[in-house]
Every structure is written in C-alpha cells, then in structure tokens.
Amino acid sequence: MSNSEQTANTDRHQQKMQKHKEKVDAAIARAQEERGVIIVLTGNGKGKSSSGFGTVIRTLGHGYKAGLVQFIKGTWDCGEAKILATLPGLTHEVMGSGFTWETQNKEQDQRAFDAVWPKAKAMLSNPELRTVMLDEITYMLAYDLLDFDELKTALENRPPEQNVILTGRGAPTALRDLADTVTEMKMEKHAFKAGVKAQAGIEW
Amino acid sequence: MSNSEQTANTDRHQQKMQKHKEKVDAAIARAQEERGVIIVLTGNGKGKSSSGFGTVIRTLGHGYKAGLVQFIKGTWDCGEAKILATLPGLTHEVMGSGFTWETQNKEQDQRAFDAVWPKAKAMLSNPELRTVMLDEITYMLAYDLLDFDELKTALENRPPEQNVILTGRGAPTALRDLADTVTEMKMEKHAFKAGVKAQAGIEW
C-alpha cells in the first residue's frame, strides 16, 4: 500500500467511526428517563440464566444490593451458586424442589413454590434491592404454580428504581408486553445436541 | 374441583412429567463425548457479555481456573470487572483502547490489539485454563484488527478440555461453523431504545 493509499484508508476509517460516534451519542442523549427496568431473557438458546447472573454481578460490582430467587436450579452442585454465596450484598433464595419432571408431583411443587414466593414478593417491595432476579420463573407460570396477575401486581408495585430480571423459556406474551427489555435467545447450535456431554462450569 | 377430578389432574401431570423425564434422560444418555466446546454468543440483543461472565463464574465456582480477555470494555467503570477482579482463579486482560468509534484511529486500535492478542493466545494454549472468554472479539474481526485464520488456528490448537466463549454482534459464518454452541440473542425490545437511560449495574 502506498503512503497516499494508507492516508486515504485512515481517513475513511476515521470518517466512518465519527459517523458511528454521532449515532451512539444521539441515542445516549435521547435516553434520559431514569427508572428501573423489567428485563426478560427467554428463548431456547444457552445463556439466559448465566446472563442474568452476570447482570446481578454487575449490580453488586457497583456497590448496590441485589436479590436472587432460583425457582428450579440452585439446590444442587451449581458453580454460580457457590460464587454468588460469597458475594456481599446478595440475598439468595432457592425454591429447591428441583425440576418438575423429576418430582412428578404437582402438589409438592405447589407447596415448594408457595413457600418461596412470599420471599420473592418481599424482595420486589424492598427499595434497598437495586436488582432482583427471578431465575426460571417462566416455568412457574407454564406449570400454573404462579398466576400471571399475581406476578404482574408484584412487578407493577415494586420500587421505581428497582430492576427485575426474569428468565426461562417460553415467556408468555403478557410478560413480554410488561417488560422494557426482551431478549429472545435463539439456539442456532448446541454442543449437547451434537453429543457432547453436559459439563460442570458450562451447563451448571 | 371434586376429589376424583383432582386425582385425574394429578395423574395427568404425573404422566406428562414422566414423559418429559424420559426425553431428558435419553438426551443425557446420548451425549457422552467429553471435550471442551466453543460457544458463540452473538446477535443484537442484551445479554451476550453478561452471559459469558455468568459462565466464567460457573467455571470458577467448580474450582477450575479461567481466563478473560476484554477487547472493548473493561477499562472504565464496569461492575463485572470489579467483582471478577476479586475472584481467585481468574486471569483477566483488557485491551483497553475503548470503543473504536471513540478512538477513531485504526493504527492506535491495531497497536492496542497487537499488544493484547499474544496474551489471549497464551491463554488458548494453557491447559490449566478450563474456560477462556474472548469478550467482544467479533468487533476485532469486523474492523480487520484480527485475521479470522489467526483466530481459527488458535482455537483449533487449544487444549482439548478447554472451553472458549466468544461474544459480540455479527459473528461471521466461519466462526459460527467452527463453534459447537451458538446463541443468537435477538433484541425483541430494549429499554434504552424506548428512552430509558443506560444505567450502572445493568448496561455496564
């Protein structure tokens, strides 16, 4: 490349980046409303719960307090639970009845849910908690353990600065409508489906 | 509901869950290959980096060592960086030149990339690291700071047990082809686009 070609390339890059910067800056200037948001992480792809945990870590990293309720996982040997338990500022509750296809007993699942839900509601009315994560709560809706209106009321009455992260496959339309941010995590490929064994540190 | 109706409901639930359990168990039995996997978290939705961080936390939670290279974020006031820095077992490197639309200087970006890439390569050849996360590396490919073949060679020659997580928008087809697990995070809705200010603990 000649010197003049290189200079032209450099200018083009600089112009392109300047244009991009103007777009980013304008978007930042437009977004000035300050309030807590409802984030739904759904879809059949890998990454919903781990993304929620990463965001809880972010919240704690800024010195805020956070709450986490795990409606399915959390009792067994979960890598994230071990680390999360060591972090100051996090209140962590586990429903702990395991997968509904393991218990195969709806009454038992309902009792386990009814025991943990008041703790989740207490988090959703606690202004000290900047972020509350309800991990795999969509299954509680899908299996009729939780009534959507009950969840909706708790979300709508939460402290205005509080962020809530809800995860799990198949988030219903009414929940998506209520949310500010919805990510649909689409599985394009999954190692497990291709015969690779699920492993500690990746799947749990 | 009469007692007999309730019993029928209970039976139906039990049968449905038993069927689901058989499917889950069969899938687990089929997946017996033990090796590290390449995970790509891409798409324009919220959750790519935070999902990677959550998975790194999982790895550390099981007592494994992990590596993290942040190619864009990480220098400034990131909530996750503050927490990650306190975790034993994590090697953390930051490219630290900031967003390319802020520097607007490709030569400077290239120098910053060239300084950090050997550290990433060293992680990708270190069998002690169970998981290596290359955060926002897709932008290095998109801006021609990193040659795809260079990345491919490093990934293919890594220790067989090592997992690699690569994040960022617009993962190229060649990278998706190389990966074992690909999640496309689709933005269905974003609070920021609706005018809510980006906030500490959620966006960074």
Q: What is this model's ipTM?
A: 0.74
Which carries the bigger pLDDT value, residue B85 or residue B118? Answer: B118
Q: For strand B181-189 and strand A181-189, is the pairing parallel, antiparallel, or unpaired?
A: antiparallel
Q: Report yes or no: A185 and A47 within 8 Å, Cβ to Cβ.
A: yes
Of B53, B87, B100, the CB nearest to A54: B53
A196 and B105 in contact by Cβ < 8 A? no
pTM of the model: 0.80
Residue B104 has pLDDT above 80, yes or no: no
Which residues in chain A are contacts of B179 at CB distance < 8 A?
189
Q: What is the pLDDT of residue A48?
A: 92
Residues 6+ apart with CB under 8 A from A4: none
Q: Can you say how many angstroms the Cα of residue B197 is from the centroid of all Cα atoms in its chain?
A: 25
Residue pair B132/B67 in contact (Cβ under 8 Å)? The answer is: yes
Looking at B31-67, list the stretches that DSSP marks H as alpha helix, in order from N- to C-terminal side. 48-61
A185 vs B47, B78, B176: nearest CB: B47
pLDDT value, residue B75: 58
A148 alpha-carbon distance from chain centroid: 18
Burial class of residue A36, CB neighbours in 10 A (0-12, 13-18, 19+): buried
Inter-chain CB proximity B64 and A201 less than 8 Å: yes
Q: Does B79 touch chain A (CB under 8 A)?
A: yes
Structure tokens at B73: 């974020």
pLDDT at B31: 65
Q: Does B149 touch chain A (CB under 8 A)?
A: no
Task: Centre a 10 Å sphere on the Cβ of residue A140 and count the other Cβ atoms it contains.
Answer: 24
Instruction: Return d(Cα B17, Cα B19) in angstroms, integer.
Output: 5
pLDDT at A99: 61
With a cut of 70, which residues of chain A have pLDDT below it?
1-7, 9, 28, 30-31, 74-77, 97-103
pLDDT given for residue A77 in this prediction: 62
Measured between beta carbons, the chain A residues lying within 8 angstroms of B195 are 30-33
Domains and CATH numbers, chain B: 37-194 (3.40.50.300)
Tell me the shortest Cα–Cα distance from A78 to chain B, in angstroms. Answer: 7
- C-alpha B101/C-alpha A17 separation (Å) is 4
Say which amino acid occupies B97: S
Q: What is the DSSP string of A9-71?
A: HHHHHHHHHHHHHHHHHHHHHH--B----EEEEESSSTTHHHHHHHHHHHHHHTT-EEEEEES
Rounded to the nearest angstrom, the minimum Cα separation between B119 and chain A is: 23
Q: What is the pLDDT of residues B184-197, one digit of tens each?
A: 999 888 887 777 88
DSSP reduced 3-state for B133: strand
pLDDT digits (tens, 9 = 90+) for A1-57: 566 666 676 777 777 777 777 777 777 676 677 789 999 999 988 889 989 998 998
Any idea which of A195-199, B69-73, B96-100 has the lowest mean pLDDT? B96-100
Distance CA B196, CA A159 (A): 16
Nearest CB neighbour to B131, from listed A31, A189, A201: A201
From the list A9, A20, A80, the residue facing B54 with the nearest CB is: A80
Scanning every residue of chain B, which has its alpha carbon at the shortest distance from the alpha carbon of A21?
B101
